[in-house]
Amino acid sequence: MRNRRVILAAHVTGEPREDNFAIETVDRAPPGEGEVLVRNAFVSVDPGMRGRLSGETSYAPPVPLGAVVGSASVGRVIASRHAGFAVGEAVAGASGWQELGLSDGRGLRRIPEGPIPLSAHIGVLGVPGLTAYFGLLDIGATKPGETVLVSTAAGAVGSAAGQIARIHGARAVGIAGGEAKRRWLLDDLGFDAAIDRLAEPDIAAAVARECPDGVDVFFDNVGNSLVDRMLPLMRLHGRIVISGQTADYNLTADERTGLKNTRAFITHRLKMQGLVVFDYAADFPRARADLTGWILDGRLKYREDIVEGLEALPGAFVDLFHGRNFGRKLGRL
Chain residues in the site for ligand NAP (CB under 6 A): 46-48, 127-128, 131, 152, 154-158, 176-177, 181, 197, 221-222, 243-247, 275-277, 320-321, 323, 325
Sign of the four-CA dihedral 207, 269, 165, 91: positive
Write the CA distances from 269 to 105, 219, 221, 237, 275, integer angstroms. Answer: 46, 17, 22, 5, 20
Shorter beta-carbon distance to ligand NAP: residue 31 or 128: 128
Sign of the four-CA dihedral 203, 207, 212, 217: negative
Shorter beta-carbon distance to ligand NAP: residue 20 or 245: 245
Shorter beta-carbon distance to ligand NAP: residue 37 or 295: 295
Burial class (CB within 10 angstroms; exposed 0-12, middle 13-18, buried 19+) of 128: buried
Report, in Å, the least distance between residue 312 CB and ligand NAP.
16
Report, in Å, the least distance between residue 320 CB and ligand NAP.
5
- Tell me the residue nearest to ligand NAP as measured from the CB: 244
At 36 the three-state DSSP class reads strand
Report, in Å, the least distance between residue 302 CB and ligand NAP.
11
Report, in Å, the least distance between residue 280 CB and ligand NAP.
9
Burial class (CB within 10 angstroms; exposed 0-12, middle 13-18, buried 19+) of 72: buried
Report, in Å, the least distance between residue 127 CB and ligand NAP.
5
For residue 169, the one-letter residue type is G
Shorter beta-carbon distance to ligand NAP: residue 16 or 128: 128
Shorter beta-carbon distance to ligand NAP: residue 79 or 172: 172
Report, in Å, the least distance between residue 303 CB and ligand NAP.
10
Shorter beta-carbon distance to ligand NAP: residue 40 or 243: 243
* Partner residues linked to 26 by β-bridges: 3
For residue 263, the one-letter residue type is R
Q: Which of 112, 119, 160 is nearest to 136 (CA)?
A: 160
